[in-house]
Structure 1
Amino acid sequence: MPTSLYHQHSFILNRAHFEECFDESVTPLTGPKRHIKTLGFGLMTFALLASPLPSYLGWFFLGLTVLEFLSVRYQRTWWLWRQLMSRAAGNEVTLTVTDTLLITESLGQKRELAWDSLDAITPTARGFLLQRGRARQYLSASGLSSDAQAFLTKFHRSDDAALAQH
């Protein structure tokens, strides 16, 4: 007899939550490839400062170059700061996990994500990465019931089995 899953949990979008999301979901770029935009802005800066155009445009690009360098160098801090400055920071989120949907409610908005619309669910050390197309969403396991975690793990294994058949 099939059992239906229903788990509801509320949490606050605080610094600890955002830190966990970043640590579990972001793969930092390494090597010189991560500085391509900084290099491009730097070249534009020198080209504009050397041109007969007004110099304020060159100084503007110099500012963009510095900002881009800092955002790459301090990627985690930069990302956390942006999240903590957002309107959502400090608000309560209600997460509902059913056998067909993942529902999040916050600030009067309700978002539903059907499990069958996902391309992959990847377990991490502290949660699950949900992937649909190029978009990824992190789901922390800290507030999930053991039934919800087992469901996500089973869903992940069925994804692996489906990929192995192709």
Structure 2
Amino acid sequence: MKDTDTNSDYTCYYILNREYFSECFDQTANTTTSFKTYVLAIALATIACVLLISESETYIAWFLLCLSGVELLSIRYKRAWWITRQMISRAAGSKVNIRIDNEGISTQRGDHQQRMFWNDITEINYTEKGFVISHATGNHYLSKSCLDDGALALLNAKV
């Protein structure tokens, strides 16, 4: 939903629901799988096999083998696992108010507020459905679905 206060002050909101979390993951997650992705699972399985062959610590060996299996599952079901974790968080279902003005971008959800000043934003990357904003505190995703043309123009001008 959109509300426009002045020509350089835009407010909108979105709901933290499954659709938003899915869009956020799809637009920001690194889903490339390479050998580096599987290093931890391979290392755990190798250590487990060495312990099983030496017959010294079989309980630890089986634990490490199961842990490597869990790691493989987390790689395979990365998207579903991430979205499920977000859906069971306290933030799920909350309304987030966004304000974009000449000073920066501010978000408010309940009693949690965050402000990103334009000077502190290091990079804004465009994605198909939104923006990935790099800031000192990390990366933040902002969906285009709730932004009107004026807010998009202001974001484009600040890049």
**3-state DSSP class of the match of 1:142?**
helix
Counterpart check, 1:8 vs 2:20:
no
Q: Quick one: distance in 2 between partners of 1:19 and 1:137?
A: 14
1:91 pairs with one of 66, 91, 94: 94
User: What corresponds to 1:164 in structure 2?
Assistant: none
State the 4+ residue runs in structure 1 displaced beyond 6 angstroms: none
Change (3 A) 1:4 1:99: farther
1:26 pairs with one of 24, 29, 34: 29
Q: Percent identity among equivalent residues?
A: 32
Q: TM-score normalized by structure 2? A: 0.85
User: What corresponds to 2:47 in structure 1?
Assistant: 44
After the TM superposition, which residues 7-156 of structure 1 pair with which residues of structure 2 at under 5 Å, given as runs?
A: 7-49=10-52, 50-53=54-57, 55-132=58-135, 135-156=138-159
Q: Quick one: distance in 2 between partners of 1:127 and 1:8?
A: 16
Following superposition, the deviation at residue 95 of structure 1 comes to 1.3
Unaligned runs of 5+ in 2: 1-5
Q: Quick one: distance in 1 between partners of 2:83 and 2:104?
A: 28
Computed over aligned residues only, the root mean square deviation of the Cα atoms, in angstroms, reads 2.0
Following superposition, the deviation at residue 133 of structure 1 comes to 5.5
Check the 8 A contact 1:4/1:98 in 2, yes or no: no
Following superposition, the deviation at residue 101 of structure 1 comes to 1.9
**How many residues are aligned here?**
153
